[in-house]
Amino acid sequence: MIDRTLDKRYTVLEHIGGGGMADVYRAHDKLLDRSVAVKVLRSQFANDEEFVTRFRREAQAAARLSHHNIVNMYDVGKDEEVHYIVMEYISGETLKERILREPLPIEMAVRIAADIAEALEHAHQNNLVHCDIKPHNILMTRAGRIKVTDFGIARAVSSVTMHHTATIIGSVHYFSPEQAKGTVVGAKSDIYSLGVVLYEMLTGTVPFNGETPISIALKHLQEEPRPIRELKPEVPPLLEAIVLKAMAKDVANRYNDISEMITDLKSVQNYFRDDHTRRLSRGDFPTQILPRLDEPIASQVNTGAVEESDNNHLLKKKNSKKVVWGLVSLLLFGFMIGAFFAFGKFWSNNEVTVPNVVGKQVEIARSILVNQNLRVNVSESFSDKVPTGHVISQSPEADNIVKEQRMINLVVSKGGEITVVPDLRGLNRRDAELQIKNAGFVLGRIDEQFNADAPIDTIINQQPRPSAQVNKNTAIDLVISKGSGPRKFALPDFRGTPLNTVNTQIESLKLKVGKVVEEVSDKYPVGTIIGQSPSPATEITEGASVDFTVAKGSSTSTTKKAVVQITVPEGAIRQAVQVVITDANGRRVVYENVHKPGDKIEKTVDGIGQVRVQVYINGVLLQEQTI
């Protein structure tokens, strides 16, 4: 996999981890120029269609999570036979590595547990259960921030884990009893696993151990863990009670939800905080031995009280004047300081023209302003139009004349605000456009395609793809279904049919009459279709056009005449005789009468072009000739 580029975007750089189901690599996202973590499904699971389907569905569900304690899910894809998930790359270590390296202080363990619980709370609120909470799936950044990973993949694994025993050795220590029994798993299963993780952080060891995964699973069902305070007496009883409640074997005896556990963990955090910061209150006076007050002492106190009262009155009057003058001086000093910060050396005669630094890199802008004897204050703001680190605006604006040392406020770009592209597939056009607007994007190009699996006006594709992280105000291109598409069928043969009689049939087939070309023909009557394009039996789509070639009479054609002789054959006493002519002017009956057998009939006929004469007796063709 090293040096391979997935979907022409993610170049795999190095292997950084793995487990029973997947390998994890550090990769470079060429589109957004950043490091990402790519989790690649192992080949033995790639051919399990049910597993792959759940893998993708759960990964997409996890991508909807957005929380500072959850590793961000960026993308899900498939390149040839490789199924992969693209996630946020975290530079640090796992919680398991931290526990093995050195014991965790109790306060740190509580803080980490609270962070994990808040991540789970967000997931549970989005109807997603992790199912595989363990220290190996908790990442710690170099700054100490907690990131929960493996959302989605654990849920996909849960349906087949018991068929791949080797893949659960690392997880069975943290199983809930219901997971060990293979029954329904819910949010309280995550609470149990978090209790096991907290137990390990406090004691340095897991609560249940054994030689085989099955023996450990049985202990989750049948045994109680060794009390935490036996292993570490300094753990507060309240904290031990939280662990025991989270690890209750009966689901009903655990916390109702993760929020209740968070409340108790914060109570423990407050306990430690109060223990470190508690001060002596006004009522906490120490016990003292005081001498008994004798009468002389009391009288001395009373005698001097009057004199002291007078002196105090004079002192108060003097002190009140000092306080007033002090406040006035303080206000004046504050005003001068504020004026200096706002307007520079307002007492100075030196003035400066503010240079224009909009669009410049912030350090260059700062240097220009400082060289003009001005001070600089920088604030940041998102902008998809101004490059990162460049000045968006300044106040006062350029060309204003100000006192030297005036404060110039610069707003510097942080680049475009990054946000996750919503999944619009399956939505109708109106709802999709609303989601695009609410997410801070703009509507891009709209294409339409026929799709038998999607209703008309439904989104069937989009670009950028769902879960991609792009700048706000990015254009989202949509592909909208036009429905199942027009019907296809074999084109009928219209040749030999008058043109004016096919219009109804053409309309019923949802076709259109295209170009009509006339061609001289002695074989067909005027207006008869003698050719068509496409040809008969060709597959054609509704809405298509059909071109026709129609016969027309020749201007040079001469009239032809002939005498037709008919002898009525033996048969019925009354026989109907009919003479039919077909020429360039069409088909017509030129003689029609009733005769008896043996009658002889002569009839002169004429026609234009090629003339065909047909004689019918009682509707049956008797003779035919061409003149």
Tokens of 111: 């803080």
Contact 592, 579 (CB under 8 A): yes
Percent of the chain with pLDDT over 90: 47
What is the edge-to-edge ordering of all strands in the sheet holding 529-533?
512-520, 545-552, 529-533
Identity (one letter) of the amino acid at 371?
N
pLDDT value at residue 577: 94
pLDDT grade for 513, boundaries at 50, 70 and 90: very high
Give CA–CA dist 132/256, Å, rounded. Answer: 19
Determine the average pLDDT of the residues in 336-349. 53
Query: Sorting pLDDT into bands at 50, 70 and 90, what band is 557?
Result: low
Three-state secondary-structure class, residue 100: helix
pLDDT at 158: 38
In the block, which residue shows the tokens 């002169």? Answer: 604
pLDDT at position 504 over 70: yes
pLDDT above 50: residue 166: no
**Quick one: average pLDDT of 166-187?**
75
Residue where the block lists tokens 């910060």: 341
All domains of the chain, ordered by start, with CATH?
1-274 (1.10.510.10), 351-413 (3.30.10.20), 418-481 (3.30.10.20), 488-552 (3.30.10.20), 559-626 (2.60.40.2560)
Compute CA 590 distance to the chain's CA centroid, rounded to the nearest angstrom. Answer: 80
How far apart, in Å, are the Cα atoms of 458 and each of 36, 298, 423? 33, 97, 13
Q: Tell me which DSSP letter residue 265 carries.
A: H
Q: For 226-284, what is each residue's pLDDT tens digit?
A: 999 999 999 999 999 999 999 999 999 999 999 999 999 998 888 777 555 444 443 34
Q: 158-162, 535-539, 603-607 — which one is most confidently predicted on average? A: 535-539
8 Å CB contact between 226 and 205: no
Compute φ and ψ for 179, nearest 5 degrees. -70, -40
pLDDT value for 156? 41
Q: Per-residue confidence at 99, pLDDT binned at 50, 70, 90?
A: very high
Q: What are the tokens at 264? A: 């108790």
Does the pLDDT at position 302 exceed 50? no
The angle that helices 187-203 and 106-125 make with each other, rounded to 10 degrees, is 170
Residue 16 DSSP class: E
Question: CA 532 → CA 498, 528, 543, 588, distances in Å?
Answer: 13, 11, 16, 26
> DSSP class of residue 610?
S
Burial code (b: 16+ CB inside 10 Å, e: under 16) for 377-407 equals eeeeebbeebeeebbbbbeeeeeeebbebbb
Least confident of 24-28, 179-183, 226-230, 472-476: 179-183
Q: Is the peptide bond before 396 cis (omega within 30 degrees of 0)?
A: yes
More confident: 514 or 182: 514
Kindly state the tokens that stand for 384. Answer: 């998809």
Specify the pairing of strand 34-41 against strand 82-88.
Answer: antiparallel
| Rg of the chain taking only CA atoms, in angstroms | 47
pLDDT of amino acid 348: 58
For residues 48-68, give the mean pLDDT. 76
Q: What is the C-alpha separation between 586 and 559, in angstroms, rounded?
A: 14
Name, in order, each residue with C-beta under 8 angstroms of 229's C-beta and a sequence gap of 6 or more. 235, 237, 240
The residue whose two tokens read 């590793």 is 71
511, two tokens: 């076709």
Burial class of residue 590 (count of CB atoms within 10 Å of its CB; 0-12, 13-18, 19+):
middle
pLDDT at 529 over 90: yes
SS3 readout for 274-295: HHHHCCCCCCCCCCCCCCCCCH
pLDDT for 349 equals 66
Let me know the angle formed at the C-alpha of 352 by 349 and 358, rounded to the nearest 5 degrees: 160
- Quick: pLDDT tens for 411-442: 999 887 788 899 999 999 999 999 999 888 99
> Is residue 296 predicted with pLDDT exceeding 50?
no
- Exposure b/e, 288-303, CB count within 10 A at least 16 = b: eeeeeeeeeeeeeeee
Whether 132 is catalytic is: yes
- What pLDDT is attached to residue 524? 80
* Widest CA span in the chain: 179
- pLDDT at residue 284, as a whole number: 41
For residue 428, give the 3-state DSSP assignment: strand
Give the range among 71-80, 302-311, 365-374 with minimum mean pLDDT.
302-311
Region 556-562: mean pLDDT is: 74
> Residue 228: what pLDDT?
95
**Through-space distance between the first and last CA atoms of the chain, rounded to whole angstroms:** 86
> For 132-158, what is the mean pLDDT?
76
* Predicted confidence (pLDDT) per residue in 448-475, tens digit: 998 888 899 999 999 999 988 888 888 9
**Range ranked top by mean pLDDT from 63-72, 135-144, 324-333, 473-482:** 473-482
Specify the higher pLDDT residue, 23 or 331.
23
Residue 534, preceding peptide bond in cis (omega within 30° of 0): yes
Pick the residue with more confidence: 395 or 583?
395
Q: Which of 132, 150, 190, 264 is catalytic?
A: 132
In angstroms, rounded to a whole number, what is the distance separating the alpha carbons of residues 101 and 93?
Answer: 11
Tell me the pLDDT of the chain averaged across its residues: 83
Query: Which of 149, 131, 133 minimizes the C-alpha distance to 22?
Result: 149
Report pLDDT digits (tens) over 241-251. Answer: 999 999 999 99
Summarize the confidence of residues 507-517 as an average pLDDT: 92
**pLDDT higher than threshold 70 for residue 161:** no
Mean predicted confidence (pLDDT) in 282-295: 41
Query: Would the pLDDT of 28 be above 80?
Result: yes
Q: What is the Cα–Cα distance from 202 to 197, expressed in whole angstroms?
A: 9
Pairwise CA distance, residues 325 & 341, whole Å:
24
Residue 303 above 50 pLDDT? no
551 pLDDT above the threshold of 80: yes
